[in-house]
């Protein structure tokens, strides 16, 4: 089996290629959560689990992992953001493995709570995983969902937060400081753990953990990681890569 590190590297190379080809955006966000997604999609069982990409602009990574798991074709993957493709830059429920739309901020966790609650009522096995951004944790609907999850003791719900400290318009803490997230979630009745979102051992251990409560993994990441000129640079939230930037980034990822 390929290592998490190699899967993450391949995902970054493919996302870089697809974003450059389509001249679309969000390359920095795709890079920051690639390590989290690499571990999660090796662990997840899509026959009984569900994954909600609340940070829907990271759809390119989701398509890569659905392709690896044989749920979409290589042709589908390579059609990313091309004219006429249904595989656009935001996660939309176009196939069963994408159960909810993402990209409209703060909708993901409410979707996840609904799916988890339905599983509880039906006594179905499986876990609901939601990937949210730190910016998405600022919204009111998110915190309503947090309270509902705690009220119903949804121990089949796991929230992963890609905490890269940046959002569209700047530093998260300067726009609306939601930290310390782990302590706040615990006050609301959740289990929560802070990890290094680029440390595969920590990611695997957190995803494999069991809890009697809804569980949040606050993964500290670096936007644009590991590309030298993208790391911590919020320009690459929206900027599409130039030809020179593409080849420089590709060289770094291939070495």
Per-residue pLDDT of the chain (255 residues; tens, 9 = 90+): 579 999 999 999 999 999 999 999 999 999 999 999 999 999 999 999 999 999 999 999 999 999 999 999 999 999 999 999 999 999 999 999 999 999 888 999 999 999 999 999 999 999 999 999 999 999 999 999 999 999 999 999 999 999 999 999 899 999 999 999 999 999 999 999 999 999 999 999 999 999 999 999 999 999 999 999 999 999 999 999 999 999 999 999 998
**Block residue for tokens 């997840």:** 44
Cis, peptide link before residue 226, omega less than 30° from 0: yes
User: Do 39 and 199 touch, CB atoms closer than 8 A?
Assistant: no
Q: Extract the tokens encoding 118.
A: 């339905």
DSSP 8-state symbol, 56: G
User: Do 226 and 13 touch, CB atoms closer than 8 A?
Assistant: no
> Which residues are CB-contacts of 215 (< 8 A; sequence separation ≥ 6)?
155, 157, 158, 159, 190, 191, 192, 193, 209
Q: Beta 170-171 vs 166-167: how paired, if at all?
A: antiparallel
DSSP 8-state symbol, 132: E
Give the span between the Cα atoms of 34 and 15, in whole angstroms: 10
Angle between helices 34-43 and 4-22 (to 10 degrees): 120
Fold classified for 4-254: Rossmann fold (3.40.50)
Q: Extract the tokens encoding 252.
A: 């770094």
Q: Extract the tokens encoding 135.
A: 């910016």
If 0-12 CB within 10 Å is exposed, 13-18 middle and 19+ buried, where does residue 30 land?
Answer: buried
Q: Which residue ranges make up each domain of the chain?
A: 4-254
The residues that bridge with 128 in the sheet, in sequence order, are 50, 157
Q: Extract the tokens encoding 129.
A: 């995983």
Q: Extract the tokens encoding 172.
A: 């998260």
Q: In angstroms, what CA-CA distances link 106 with 78, 130, 145?
A: 28, 11, 9
Give the span between the Cα atoms of 159 and 179, in whole angstroms: 16
Q: Is 218 helix (H, G, I), strand (E, B) or coil?
A: strand
Which of 156, 146, 147, 88 is closest to 119 using CA atoms?
A: 156
């Amino acid at each position: 089996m390929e290592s998490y590190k190699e899967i993450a590297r391949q995902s970054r190379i493919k996302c870089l290629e697809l974003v450059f080809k389509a001249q679309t955006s969000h390359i920095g966000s795709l890079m920051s959560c690639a390590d989290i997604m690499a571990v999660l999609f090796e662990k997840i069982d899509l026959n009984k689990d569900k994954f909600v990409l609340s940070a829907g602009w990271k759809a390119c990574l989701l398509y890569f992992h659905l392709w690896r798991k044989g749920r979409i074709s290589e042709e589908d993957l390579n059609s990313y953001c091309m004219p006429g493709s249904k595989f656009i830059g935001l996660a939309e429920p176009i196939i069963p493995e994408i159960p909810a739309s993402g990209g409209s901020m703060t909708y993901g966790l409410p979707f996840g709570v609904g799916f988890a609650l339905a599983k509880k009522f039906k006594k179905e096995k499986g876990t609901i995983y939601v990937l949210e951004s730190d910016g998405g944790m600022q919204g009111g609907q998110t915190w309503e969902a947090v309270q509902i999850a705690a009220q119903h003791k949804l121990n089949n719900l796991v929230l992963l937060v890609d905490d890269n400290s940046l959002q569209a318009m700047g530093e998260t803490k300067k726009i609306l400081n939601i930290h310390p997230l782990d302590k706040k979630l615990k006050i609301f009745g959740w289990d929560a753990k802070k990890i290094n979102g680029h440390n595969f051992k920590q990611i695997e251990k957190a995803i494999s953990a069991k809890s009697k409560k809804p569980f949040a993994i606050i993964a500290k990441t670096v936007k644009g990681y590991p590309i030298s000129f993208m790391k911590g640079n919020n320009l690459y939230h929206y900027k599409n890569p130039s030809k020179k930037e593409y080849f420089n980034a590709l060289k770094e990822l291939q070495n």
